[in-house]
Amino acid sequence: MNVIRIAADSETRASGALTWVTASLPATLELVEDRADIRTVNGTAGWTERASHALLEGASGVVVVAPEAEQIDGLRSTAAERNAFVILDQRWRSNPTLTEARDAVSNLEGPVSFAEIAVNVPATEDIEQAIHESVQIAHHVMGAVEDLRVLHRQSRTVLVGGTVRNSAPLTITIAVGPAIDGPVHVRVVARFGGVHLCVPDPETAAPGLVTIVHTDGSTTLPSRWESAHRASWRRVITAVESGDRPDDLGEFDEASQLLLSRASLA
């Protein structure tokens, strides 16, 4: 296996998004100062410009840690022109159990009756990013999200409504305050069962958990002990080795456009 050279800005180099994760993967990932194959950038304001600059300097891929909502058209064009990839390392959306939950939801018997996402964030400045990421989670697990609208909003709580497949109602609740057992809970209820997904914060050692409810009781899928950060870097290795180009920006942009179309969410 060839060495994959990684360069990072100071924020991502110091975080758990990179330092210990690279050492835990079955690949040779080397932190370097220049001539990097992959560059990481912090997802604070201006990240699309920083990521585009990294690709134009010769990186074959970019990892963006905790991206804020931004217009990504320029970055998407740059990535396509350079035949490069952009992987978004997000707090909850990148957790690998979301794919398991999506498969479980697709196998539910009968139409979906309703779905809900409940998110705890530590501070009010995290609310907007949590809304954006929750819409991405809903899209990934349940399919297209429509009719998005704000039902209630105060300084520390937001309630968003919408619909998912079969026009089933969707609610997204964002609350500022401590989480008891996990920052994100996703519940999908159908006529003959349901799915409950608990997604922990990636800084914890807890795994994501998927529980399937059926007519005979419930089944919890085997625990997958992998953080969102590690799953993102495992995807980087796959992209480098296979040449695949993940479309993280596509899903991210769909959520952005849906939110931008609703002035009440601004």
> Is residue 255 included in any domain, yes or no?
no
> Is residue 258 included in any domain, yes or no?
no
Residue 257's pLDDT is 84
Query: Is the domain of 177 the same as that of 202?
Result: yes
Q: CATH no. for residue 200?
A: 3.30.360.10
Query: Is the domain of 132 the same as that of 87?
Result: no
Residue 18's pLDDT is 66
Query: Is the domain of 47 the same as that of 105?
Result: no
Residue 54's pLDDT is 94
CA distance 22 to 170: 37
Query: Is the domain of 42 the same as that of 126?
Result: no
CA 57 to chain centre: 26
Contact 265, 131 (CB under 8 A): yes
> Is residue 22 included in any domain, yes or no?
yes
Query: Is the domain of 12 the same as that of 80?
Result: yes
Query: Is the domain of 129 the same as that of 242?
Result: no
Count structural domains, the chain: 2
> Is residue 261 included in any domain, yes or no?
no
Q: CATH no. for residue 20?
A: 3.40.50.720
CA distance 266 to 261: 9
Q: What is the DSSP string of 41-66?
A: EE-STTHHHHHHHHHHTT-SEEEEES
Query: Is the domain of 35 the same as that of 108?
Result: no
Query: Is the domain of 30 the same as that of 48?
Result: yes
Task: Count Cβ atoms below 10 Å from residue 203 Cβ, excluding itself.
Answer: 13
Residue 258's pLDDT is 82
- Cα torsion angle, 235, 260, 66, 212, sign: negative
Q: What is the pTM of this model?
A: 0.89
Query: Is the domain of 150 the same as that of 243?
Result: no
Q: ∠ CA 214-146-143 to the nearest 5 degrees?
A: 45
Query: Is the domain of 185 the same as that of 104?
Result: yes
> Is residue 265 included in any domain, yes or no?
no
Query: Is the domain of 109 the same as that of 62?
Result: no
Residue 183's pLDDT is 82
**pLDDT one digit per residue (tens) for the chain, 266 residues:** 578 888 887 777 656 556 667 666 766 777 777 788 999 999 999 999 999 999 999 999 999 999 998 889 999 999 999 999 999 999 999 999 999 999 999 999 888 999 999 999 988 888 999 999 999 999 999 988 999 998 999 999 999 999 998 789 999 999 998 766 668 999 999 988 999 999 988 777 788 999 999 888 999 999 888 888 888 888 998 898 888 888 899 989 988 888 876 544 44
Structural domain containing residue 193: 97-220
> Is residue 171 included in any domain, yes or no?
yes
> Is residue 262 included in any domain, yes or no?
no
Residue 33's pLDDT is 78
Residue 265's pLDDT is 47
Residue 105's pLDDT is 95
CA distance 87 to 51: 11
> Is residue 42 included in any domain, yes or no?
yes
Query: Is the domain of 216 the same as that of 140?
Result: yes
Instruction: Measure Cα distances from 175 to 17, 107, 115, 130, 149 in Å.
Output: 24, 30, 17, 10, 17
Residue 151's pLDDT is 92
